[in-house]
Amino acid sequence: MGAFEYRQALEIRDVFSRHGVRYLFIGKSGAILLGYPDTTQDADLFPDKSPINTRAVVAALRELGFSLSDAEAAEIERGKDFVQLRNGPFDVDLVFAPDGIERFGDAWERRVDVEGFPVCHPDDIIASKAAANRVKDRESLPRLRAFRDYWVAQRQRGSS
């Protein structure tokens, strides 16, 4: 399997949209969509955990080419908080309950649209990494916070 590609991100966007999935890009993949220059491996998606949405996620993943057994699909539909998928055309982590974010609806209200991709606000990406408090997050947070400040200043400059 090769690296995650732009065309695969487009497929997620289009297929998830067709199935009516409510989700956000989160983590470093979300930051990269916002313009953060760094490297990562997989796409982290934060879907709404409502039953109707988890069923739509399963249908969308199958259409994208993920080979989910009925048992695996049921685990997603039942609303496991964290699902790691390595059985499709690219690697995806489904993070239904990211650290540091209370409710999907709050993050959804703050979302940023990047060429049709729904992305968590940088403050939410930072909050989730700060709350996770892993070694790799600690290392990346100062640069990510600097990027957030840069991104906010750019937006303010663009709207003035």
Q: Does 16 bind another protein (CB under 8 A)?
A: no
d(CA 112, CA 119): 5
* Minimum CB–partner distance for residue 1 and another protein (Å): 7
For 59, counting Cβ atoms within 10 Å of its Cβ (0-12 exposed, 13-18 middle, 19+ buried), the class is: middle
User: Quick one: DSSP state of residue 1?
Assistant: -
Do the Cβ atoms of 78 and 53 come closer than 8 Å? Answer: no
* Minimum CB–partner distance for residue 82 and another protein (Å): 4
Q: Does 123 bind another protein (CB under 8 A)?
A: no
Give how far Cα 102 sits from Cα of 23, 37, 43, 55, Å.
15, 27, 21, 22
Stretch that binds another protein, among 17-25, 52-60, 72-80, 118-126 (CB under 8 A): 72-80
User: Quick one: DSSP state of residue 92?
Assistant: E
Q: Does 113 bind another protein (CB under 8 A)?
A: no
Looking at 11, 14, 87, 89, which residue binds another protein (CB under 8 A)? 87
Collapsing DSSP to helix, strand or coil, 73 comes out as helix
Q: Write each residue from 30 to 69 as x if it is in contact with another protein (CB under 8 A), else as -, in one continuous string.
A: --xx-xxxxxxx--------------------------x-
Residues making contact with another protein (CB under 8 A): 1-6, 9, 29, 32-33, 35-41, 68, 72, 75-76, 80-87, 91, 95, 97-99, 114-115, 132-136, 138-139, 143, 146-147, 149-151, 153-154, 157
